[in-house]
Structure 1
Amino acid sequence: MLDGSDLKSVRKNAGISQTDMAKKLDCDRRTIINYEQGVCEPKASQLFRWLSVCKIDLKPLAAQVRSTKESLFLLFTLTIISPYIASVFYVGTLSSCALYGAIRKQKSILQISLIAITLYTLEFNSLSYFEAFLSNLINDQLKVSVIYYMFQIAFSILGYSIFTYIIKKNHWHYAENPRLSNLVRVIPLIYIYFATIVTLHLIDFYIDEKYNYTFLSVFYTHYENLIYIGMSLIIFTLVAMVVSHEKELKRAV
């Protein structure tokens, strides 16, 4: 299989910068550096996307992977684990919960779903433009990266603040259903989780760039998956709220 130096060579031959490759793989530039230095290996989906972006014929690689008896599974799951598909699934599921809340006139489910969709959509669509703006404004790549991560942290803190305010505002409404109340209170904690992951990611990036020391490298290696965990928790919480409300309606019949 390909090692870090091979990936670097392929990228350079295609005339693609590390920053551009990071955007195409929906990750940060440091992750690209880690792949090329052999600190960690890209997932199968990212490897295939890397080569596809560089316009490399994937047939020989697919044949090599097939020899390990893993290719059918990997090729089948490429689209499933794509960050874009994950984003569409996330927003789609939240939209379904919002629709349920509107139909059932369940204000809490509708409200939480719409706010979560809005926060995610704003962050997802604004990050690339924000990074491009910073890169044109600031020449120091380290400063650009630090501000970029702080921008993500700010969105998580904003989410925490909004949902905390909603919980306090609707305290008596939620108190009518203790289970619903407990589920709602989980949402702000998930945004604290997001902020913590990105903060640790930022700390490790900074000290590695400054001192070449990666004691928190696990947050680079698994950063994408850790973010997916938070997204899954939001989906699970909203689905649990829907189930709880349906059970409540059946008991009332």
Structure 2
Amino acid sequence: MIDGDDLRAMRINAGISQQGMSKKLKCDRKTIHNYEIGVSDIPSSRLFQWLTFCKLDLSILLNQVKAVRGEASKNGQSKLLDIMSVILLFSPLWSHLIVTPLYLLLLGVCAAYGVYKKDINVTHIAGFIFILTAVNYPIFDSGLINYVTPSDNKLLQGTIIYGTQLILSIITVFVLIFRVQLSRLISKSNNIALTHFDGIFHWLYIYASLIYLLGLLENIAWSHFELKSWTLIYDNFEGLIYIGWALCCGALLAMMISSTGSNCCNDKKTTGNE
């Protein structure tokens, strides 16, 4: 098991400062410090990135996994270990540099599908979410807030980061709640209607808003009240948000399938009447 001392030794041997590692991992220096003193555990995705940046031979780690698997097979636990190993190996893919563009791509595909199928409801739901997520993306991917706020003022910096995300998420909630009214303002289509899926999307973004709010409160506790062990949301932030995104994509996919099924039924009825 790699602990904080191991992480620190690898970083120092690689000639990387805490600030340098924070830039490589797209996080702030306090997170690196917490990993190294054992206040918080490093996520597996960041662990593999850490090992890569420190130019550690990953084959050694894989050989250790194989050795452990050999022991586990004797106890009938090899299948469970295989599953965990696959998750561990693919966990670096859960980076915001991959997931956010992929989420935007899926939303764009759903909106385009709605246009192709002339389903105004799918088009507008996917389109509204796409636009509000796309507004969010360049702000945080460019690190704009980090550049315009003092790096030593973690309270101000964290408040602006979480606060901005919270505001955009709440706006998304209201847009989705009043989606039908907004759609009718934009389009004169007679097919605009409240679907069974409309009630799902705003709850997913209410969940996301709650995560942003808890992250904001946790940052205040950490930076203002010196509660250094309060990093639960921070350490798991991306994963918690990605859960909501995955459910949102699943709901859109189900809506698209349902829409296709309804169109097929309508076509059959039309053909039968003829």
Q: Is the pair's TM-score, using the shorter chain for normalization, greater than 0.5?
A: yes
Amino acid at match of 2:59: K
1:3 corresponds in structure 2 to 3
1:134 aligns with 2:148: yes
How far, CA to CA, are the matches of 1:139 and 1:46 in structure 2?
23
- Which residue of 55, 77, 81 corresponds with 2:94? 81
How far, CA to CA, are the matches of 1:12 and 1:147 in structure 2?
32
Amino acid at match of 1:15: I
How far, CA to CA, are the matches of 1:104 and 1:162 in structure 2?
23
The 3 A distance-change label for structure 1 pair 65 and 209 is farther
Normalized against structure 1, the TM-score is what? 0.81
Does the Cα contact within 8 Å between 1:95 and 1:117 map onto a contact in 2? yes
Q: Which moved more, 1:183-192 or 1:194-203?
A: 183-192
Cα offset for 1:59? 3.3
Normalized against structure 2, the TM-score is what? 0.76
1:98 corresponds in structure 2 to 111
1:48 aligns with 2:48: yes
Rg bigger for which structure?
A: 2
Does the Cα contact within 8 Å between 1:163 and 1:187 map onto a contact in 2? yes
1:115 corresponds in structure 2 to 128
How far, CA to CA, are the matches of 1:21 and 1:239 in structure 2?
38
Cα offset for 1:162? 2.7
The 3 A distance-change label for structure 1 pair 22 and 139 is closer
Q: Which residues of structure 1 form unaligned runs of 5+?
A: none
String of CA shifts for 1:166-217, please: whole Å, max 9, x gaps. Answer: 2333478554xxxx62312322222222111011012122213333437864
1:209 corresponds in structure 2 to 223
Cα offset for 1:239? 1.0
2:74 corresponds in structure 1 to none
Q: Which residues of structure 2 form unaligned runs of 5+?
A: 70-80, 185-189, 269-274
1:24 aligns with 2:41: no
Identity %: 30
Aligned-residue CA RMSD in angstroms?
Answer: 2.9
Cα offset for 1:228? 0.8
Q: Spell out the pairing of 1:85-234 with structure 2 (5 A cutoff).
A: 85-127=98-140, 128-135=142-149, 137=150, 139-170=152-183, 173-175=191-193, 181-213=195-227, 217-234=231-248
Cα offset for 1:139? 4.3
Q: How many residues align?
A: 247
Amino acid at match of 2:40: C
Amino acid at match of 2:253: V
Question: Following TM superposition, where does structure 1 have runs of at least 4 consecutive aligned residues deviating by more than 6 angstroms?
Answer: none
The 3 A distance-change label for structure 1 pair 67 and 195 is same
